[in-house]
């Protein structure tokens, strides 16, 4: 492994990509500490301290993905989430609206137009989020805005939207000139930046006697075991064998080889968890504006993280969105038609409808265990902290994102090493990314 890491810096092109990526992420982290003008950061920090750790509302969940920028009221407070939201919506629309479906099939030119629409949508969603957060800062957090009014609203919205556009540009530069997916790496950097704080908090608890050293060791072991399990499930695939018939064209023989279709156990990735959290956290977020209402407070108790109904709904929504998103991105009928077009078939299955039905049945069977596992990982921090009375800072959605992005980036580095005849990170086989 050490030799493989040394080989990375022996390739000039790869070395430049890694250095560029590291410098871009440093710029992002530096910008995370520049505050929005006209904000009392201390008041926001105190408010977010009550929701970020528990994930009690949408702001706490949002703060996770932006690396604590919302709690610091920085110029990058919105993070890259408006871009992620727009990308997901347009991707889902590609399976519903013929216009986007047609663009998706037009290749590079169609993808260029989709990227353009994604940028426009990002600006609109960022503007809406900026207005919403600015209003909330003015009216929802006491003392957060010393001088409220039009000037504050204008500068705040302009600053936050500009921050989103800069992060989006920075992510595109990393993708083009660096290594890995820039947008994913920015989210990765924000989540990783919170991990040292979790370790420090745990160390302080051990120092003051609030946690036994044995419990701290057990928490770390559980973290390692969960990370290994997430890697295993993220990498897991179901290979469907495909045989291509021989075709004689002129004097040449085409086809005749055997291959396979790799269907991932977790095709949807972390998207079902994001959707499920956004839906369930929305009522408690609205409730922060009506804290004096007994009815609203009772609803908050039932739908608060750790409550039985919340957990049941959370797991159910994750499973539902896992199937929904998988159905959007993988079309068994289209896959069967493409195989038939090029003379491919699954042994023992007739081309056409029989093949598509078989692929669909396989997807239904493998999606369920993957969705249930990721739902378990998502609820585990709340289970350990509230039900088992153990602090756990390293699981949930953030861990799934970190593992997925790390595997994708390592897969790209592995490809560069193999192409230049260097030994990769794995001696047997190849490191597979999430793209299958």
Instruction: Assess whether pLDDT exceeds 50 at residue 212.
Output: yes
Phi, psi of 174 (to 5 degrees): -65, -45
Q: Mean per-residue pLDDT for 181-206?
A: 82
- Give a yes or no: residue 410 inside a domain: no
Task: Calculate the average pLDDT of the chain.
Answer: 79
- Give a yes or no: residue 415 inside a domain: no
Q: Name the pTM for this structure.
A: 0.76
Please state, in angstroms and rounded to a whole number, the distance separating the CA atoms of residues 436 and 424: 20
Q: For residue 54, what pLDDT band results from cuts at 50, 70 and 90?
A: very low
Q: For residue 158, what pLDDT band results from cuts at 50, 70 and 90?
A: very high
Do 67 and 160 sit in the same domain of this protein?
Answer: yes
- Model pLDDT for residues 394-407, shown as the tens digit of each residue: 667 778 888 888 88
Residues 6+ apart with CB under 8 A from 296: 287, 290
Please name the residue ranges forming H helices in 239-293.
271-287
CB 50 within 8 A of CB 298: no
CB 73 within 8 A of CB 63: no
Dihedral sign from CA coordinates of 73, 79, 83, 84 = negative
| Domain end position, chosen among 187, 203, 237 | 187
Do 41 and 169 sit in the same domain of this protein?
Answer: yes
Do 23 and 113 sit in the same domain of this protein?
Answer: yes
CA distances, 34 to each of 44, 146, 160, 192, 375 (Å): 14, 18, 11, 19, 35
Residues 6+ apart with CB under 8 A from 336: 351, 352, 353, 355, 356, 359
Q: Which tokens sit at 212?
A: 């036994």
- Model pLDDT for residues 237-292, shown as the tens digit of each residue: 888 888 877 666 666 665 567 788 888 888 887 778 877 877 777 676 666 666 66
Indicate which CATH number applies to the domain containing 16. 1.10.3370.10
Q: Mean per-residue pLDDT for 180-198?
A: 82
- Give a yes or no: residue 399 inside a domain: no
- Give a yes or no: residue 8 inside a domain: yes
Q: How many folded domains does the chain comprise?
A: 2
| Structural domain boundaries enclosing 281 | 194-394
Do 230 and 298 sit in the same domain of this protein?
Answer: yes
Write the DSSP assignment of 193-241 as a string of letters. Answer: TTHHHHHHHHHHHHHHTSS-HHHHHHHHHHHHHHHHHHHHHHH-EEEEE
Do 304 and 215 sit in the same domain of this protein?
Answer: yes
Q: Mean per-residue pLDDT for 26-45?
A: 83
In 3-state terms, what secondary structure has residue 392? coil
Instruction: Assess whether pLDDT exceeds 80 at residue 387.
Output: no
Do 55 and 136 sit in the same domain of this protein?
Answer: yes
- Give a yes or no: residue 269 inside a domain: yes
| Domain end position, chosen among 160, 187, 214 | 187
Residue with tokens 């609820």: 379
Q: For residue 37, what pLDDT band results from cuts at 50, 70 and 90?
A: confident
Q: Which tokens sit at 198?
A: 């979790």
Do 163 and 199 sit in the same domain of this protein?
Answer: no
pLDDT number for residue 343: 77
pLDDT number for residue 161: 93
- Give a yes or no: residue 327 inside a domain: yes
Do 26 and 174 sit in the same domain of this protein?
Answer: yes
- Give a yes or no: residue 251 inside a domain: yes
Strands 258-264 and 344-345 turn out to be unpaired
Q: For residue 123, what pLDDT band results from cuts at 50, 70 and 90?
A: very high
| Greater pLDDT, 145 or 5 | 145
- Give a yes or no: residue 435 inside a domain: no
Please state, in angstroms and rounded to a whole number, the distance separating the CA atoms of residues 196 and 322: 31
Lowest-confidence pick of 44-53, 82-91, 203-212, 253-262: 44-53
pLDDT number for residue 259: 80
Q: For residue 53, what pLDDT band results from cuts at 50, 70 and 90?
A: very low
Instruction: Assess whether pLDDT exceeds 70 at residue 87.
Output: yes
Q: Which tokens sit at 246?
A: 């021989």
Do 301 and 206 sit in the same domain of this protein?
Answer: yes
| Domain end position, chosen among 187, 215, 249 | 187
pLDDT number for residue 138: 80
């Amino acid at each position: 492994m050490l030799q493989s890491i040394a080989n990375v810096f022996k390739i000039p092109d790869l070395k430049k990509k890694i250095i560029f990526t590291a410098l871009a992420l440093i710029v992002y982290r530096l910008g995370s500490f520049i505050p929005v003008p006209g904000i009392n950061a201390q008041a926001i920090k105190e408010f977010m301290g009550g929701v970020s750790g528990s994930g009690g509302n949408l702001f706490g969940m949002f703060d996770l993905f932006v690396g604590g920028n919302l709690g610091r009221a920085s110029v990058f407070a919105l993070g890259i989430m408006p871009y992620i939201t727009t990308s997901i919506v347009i991707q889902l629309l590609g399976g519903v609206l013929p216009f986007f479906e047609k663009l998706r099939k037009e290749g590079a030119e169609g993808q260029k137009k989709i990227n353009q629409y994604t940028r426009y949508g990002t600006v609109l969603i960022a503007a809406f989020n900026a207005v919403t957060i600015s209003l909330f800062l003015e009216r929802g957090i006491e003392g957060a805005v010393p001088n409220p009014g039009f000037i504050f609203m204008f500068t705040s919205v302009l600053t936050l939207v500009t921050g989103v556009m800069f992060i989006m540009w920075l992510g595109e530069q990393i993708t083009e000139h660096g290594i890995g997916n820039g947008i994913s790496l920015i989210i990765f950097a924000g989540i990783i930046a919170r991990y040292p704080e979790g370790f420090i908090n745990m160390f302080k608890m051990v120092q003051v006697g609030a946690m036994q050293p044995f419990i701290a060791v057990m928490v770390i072991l559980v973290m390692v075991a969960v990370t290994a399990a997430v890697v295993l499930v993220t990498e897991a695939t179901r290979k469907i064998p495909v045989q291509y018939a021989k075709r004689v064209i002129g004097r040449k023989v085409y086809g005749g080889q055997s291959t396979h279709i790799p269907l991932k156990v977790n095709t949807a990735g972390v998207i079902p968890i994001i959707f499920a959290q956004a839906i369930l956290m929305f009522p408690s977020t609205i409730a922060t504006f009506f804290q004096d209402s007994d009815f609203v407070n009772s609803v908050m108790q039932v739908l608060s993280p750790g409550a039985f109904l919340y957990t049941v709904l959370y797991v159910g929504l994750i499973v539902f969105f896992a199937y929904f998103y998988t159905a959007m991105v993988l079309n068994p009928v289209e896959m069967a038609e493409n195989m038939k077009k090029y003379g491919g078939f699954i042994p023992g299955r007739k081309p056409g409808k029989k093949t598509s039905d078989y692929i669909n049945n396989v997807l239904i069977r493998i999606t369920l265990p993957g969705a249930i596992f990721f739902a378990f990982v998502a609820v585990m921090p709340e289970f350990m902290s509230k039900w088992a009375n153990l602090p756990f800072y390293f699981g949930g959605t953030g861990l799934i994102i970190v593992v997925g992005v790390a595997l994708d980036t390592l897969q790209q580095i592995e490809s560069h090493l193999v192409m230049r005849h260097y030994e990769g990170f794995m001696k047997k086989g190849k490191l597979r990314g999430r793209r299958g």
